Amino acid sequence: MLRYSVKLLKDTNDTILVDVPDVPEAHTFGEDREEALLRAPDAIESALMLYIDLRRDIPVPRSGGRGPFVTLPALTEAKLALYTAMRTAKVGKAELARRLNWHLPQVDRLLDLRHASRLDQLEAAFRVLGKCLSVEIREAA
């Protein structure tokens, strides 16, 4: 579970600003605390999509950080894990497409955090990298 610590700050115009220390490019705001926290996952995903475009490592949330926390969707986490596995194996998008016998836009969508990819497609991508995708269900915090 990717759970990032966020800092909430009151702005001069009475909005709440959100900063993510582990993802410095992620910023958003809300009219109140609740709205700010609701917008935070989208801001983090936007910043992480920039990391993917720039071929940068995905920052791992620091353990023991102080809250509040924002948890990213499971599909986002799976896509980021695929991206990280590709970087570790030094496999680019074109090579992954070749191994899967897919067209390059299919791989692009698989790494697009805004696209609702199917789990079977992610499983296939992990498989050609020598990995397997596992789902874990836990009690809600």
- Interval 2-20: pLDDT, tens: 999 999 999 999 999 999 9
pLDDT, tens only, 92-114 = 999 999 999 999 999 999 999 99
Mean pLDDT of the chain: 94
Element (H, E) at 83: helix 74-89
pLDDT, tens only, 36-78 = 999 999 999 999 999 999 999 999 998 776 779 999 999 999 9
Q: Hey, CA dihedral for 129, 131, 136, 141, is it positive or negative?
A: negative
Q: End-to-end CA distance of the chain: give it in Å, rounded.
A: 12
